[in-house]
Structure 1
Amino acid sequence: MRYLLPVVSLLFLSFLCTCDRAPENTAETITQNPPPICRLQGEAMGSYFRVTYVGDSIPGLGERIDSLLDAYNLELSAWVPTSKLTAFNESQKGVDLFGTMHFAPNLELAKRVSRETDGAYDPTIAPLVNYWGFGTGTPRESSEVIMEEVRALLPLVGLQNISMEGTMLRKSSPGVMLDLNASAKGYGVDLISQLLAAAGRPDHLVDIGGEMRAGGNKYGRPWNVAIRLPDEDKAKIAQAGTLPLSNGRAIATSGNYLNYYKVDGEVFSHTINPKTGLVERNRLLSASVLAPDCATADAYATACMVMGPEKALELINARPELEGYFLIASENGGLETVKSSGL
């Protein structure tokens, strides 16, 4: 999973907005005044954010995006003491979701993907995430794994531990906690995409930390997006390939190569298996999933990393609305690219 950094406010630390004229070799040059390409970038959800759209600049767009994501953060960030998610995790029996806009849709998405992946993705994984030093947890100081501690947390994980009674979200015991960060950036991308469409900019590309959604197209052609080559050196950014994206299609990527830490030479990465309770490291180095919306792509990408390359490919091929682009460690130490049947 990918996790939001501990940022209480989503206020952008800086804005950069530029607009360029359409290049002469585009399909739009047949018109007298082709619309420009505008770009806005800044910081959001503990990562970078970039918005590119066809059309004149939208005044105050950065502030509108900031306000939109800040409202989301106040409901679902584990690092905001007053958020609804924090209230649920700290409660004894649960919380009332009345008046919230984003909590229920995210939870329903998480439940759906959990069922469809046979629990490879589970929103109640928070106790394990924290135990292994991710989320709001503290990185381990020892590489020793005490299985008794892991097994003690496993009963807290599973959809059977949460239920809805009207607007009340209940938990089976005080130790049950939610972690919806696996789809957080994707959901944020979807919110911005909807904002741009409502603002009269249907042709756009939204990117938050590598999770992307394309509205419409770019001068009659798809937007081209890059798949990052998995490398544990954050300074090394290279492309493993590119994919076309258009007409509302979204892509999200999950991998163990950036979010990890080492203790006594042992690597602890952020993908946790909800069934075993252990850190999951298999031959699947990077899973990129394409879906009709970015939140769905985000959640499925997380599930694929847990499942491993063979089961992940089987899962994606069985769902016509999804496509997958997997980077797999080969037996000879190389890198193998495997695509689903739809690509």
Structure 2
Amino acid sequence: SVNIVAFGNERDGFSEDNQQACLIWSYLGRSALISHINSSLSVSHIGNPIFTKYQACVFGNVRLVVHDFPLWDIFDSDWYTSRSLIGGADIVVIKYSVNDKTSFQELKDTYAPMIKKTLNHSSVPVIISAVGARKNGVPCTCPLCTLDRRSCVTTSEGVQLAKDLRATYLELHTLNDFYIQKYFGGVLEYFMIQRLNQKSSEKMKKRRKTQKCHRVQPPQLEQPEKMPILKGEASHYDTDLHNLLCCCQCADVAFYAEDLSTVVEAHKVILCAVSHLFMLLFKVKSPADIRDASILCTAQSLFTVEMEDAVLPLPHGIPRCVPPVRVLVKDSVFCSCLLDILHFIYSG
């Protein structure tokens, strides 16, 4: 939301036109960015108006609240309320008529120091709006002349007041579309955007700070002066696999020549891992699982798996309680090369 507090009367105090337009109401009614305007008038116990409260939406869905105080009586009657209003405002608007020198002088001498004192502890932007066209250019310098009371407020006086309050000075010669929407409205909407961005940034910082407070902090461990160098150990996979073949460790397959003169030991799991032929030979897969008919023909032409009741000598190193699968190699040429083939398979 955006909270705006406006002080001062922009109407000419000596004008007989009571229907003279109000700066805040003119802006709210003409700006294309404002919607859903509601207003309420607060009066004192004797019936005098204290302030008008406007509520609207700006930039689509941002809530806008404006407190418009046409009189400065609140600073005289309730200083704490006026100070809290300024402290809680996002933007402060001070307005006066350039043809009411008396009201301006009262603002400059009495109320401007109060506002400055309150704004010293905040960064609330202030807009000073000098409203109206000057009716008499040069005031009379005669000490007995009463025309001084109706003399105009000069531009230099307004600029000096803006410097004292570190405010933005605007001169609105008339409350038409140009001065209301593009001039006053442009500056006011700029400050609205800046304040909304500032609020969003503060909200994000607060959220991050809250999340950081609730986050479990890891322990602060001292790092060693020099990290140890980790060296990878050389792999012994190839050697260990080759030793299985050479040392006949845990062998569960024995290949025999047809004359039973040559015995070569191996391992079913390794042989099945490299060829579907051995999976078919050791009944890991059935002939129906093998789509390639040449594998079936090769297995039948090269090998014959002997039944367990056949009488064949067991090689050294295989216990009797775990009889190996005994395979006869039909092809003598293949049998002579079988050991080299197994060495190639076991090389990894």
Taking structure 1 as the reference length, the TM-score comes to 0.23
Greater gyration radius: 2
More RCO (CA 8 Å, sep 6+): 1
Higher strand share: 1
